[in-house]
Amino acid sequence: MTQLLRVQNFGVSSDGIGAGEHQSLENPFGLDHSGMFAWAGATASWPMRTDPGGSRGLDDYFTRDYPRNIGAEIMGRNKFGPYRGPWKDLEWQGWWGDEPPFHTPVFVMTHHTRPSLTLSDTTFHFVEGDPATVLEQAREAADGKDVRLGGGVTTIRQFLDADLVDTMHVVVSPVTYGSGLRLWESPEELLDRFHLDVVPSPSGVVHHLFWRK
């Protein structure tokens, strides 16, 4: 079986911006992006859900597909924490708490490596290398399953530029940010290499489903 590299549930604003400026320890996504995740939080299969409710319509197909056949994740350093440059505090264990929602090995791309870190059933490995090299490591760890590319924008752009992404699910929210890290000017930029289904959801977001031609 082919091991796909999949982007899933990645949120951007209507102007294509994924992560705001001014990221900090208190604001992992920079400026207020809470509205960009409301669609997921309303579903029955949202991994952070603590009560038994939630919708089981279109949006729930996307949240419940999140762990399906995933054996590893790749993320940029900024999805692990806000710090730049050499690590100053190895005691700080990232934004994801004692029970990270990944449940697989996670490869954090960084120029500043540090020892691997295990929290519950998630192990973070800190790796340096180009996208193809890191993908090779993640595929081996995934043991035949697919690899999720977790973001942020800079990391996804790197893998798109190297033509390593097989499928990509981007959720466009009806908000505009104007400035910040931009995934695209328009989704049509990718149509030379990808098929695209554009699926408006009753919740107000528009799911963009890309798969390699």
3-32 positions binding its own copies, by CB under 8 A: none
* Rounded Cα gap, residues 124 and 111, in angstroms: 15
Judged by CB under 8 A, does residue 193 bind its own copies?
no
**Residue 176: exposed, middle, or buried by beta-carbon count in 10 A (0-12, 13-18, 19+)?**
exposed
For its own copies, give the closer residue by CB, 123 or 201. 201
Identify which range of 79-87, 88-96, 172-180, 191-199 contacts its own copies by CB under 8 A.
Answer: 191-199
Q: Which helix (H) or strand (E) holds 194?
A: strand 194-200
109-168 positions binding its own copies, by CB under 8 A: 166-167
Quote the least distance from Cβ 48 to its own copies, whole Å: 17
Q: Which helix (H) or strand (E) holds 127?
A: strand 122-127
Q: CB under 8 Å to 15, separation ≥6 — which residues?
A: 176, 177, 178, 182
46-75 positions binding its own copies, by CB under 8 A: 52, 55-58, 61-62, 64-65, 68
Per CB under 8 A, residues contacting its own copies are 2, 52, 55-58, 61-62, 64-65, 68, 166-167, 195-199, 201-202, 207, 209, 211
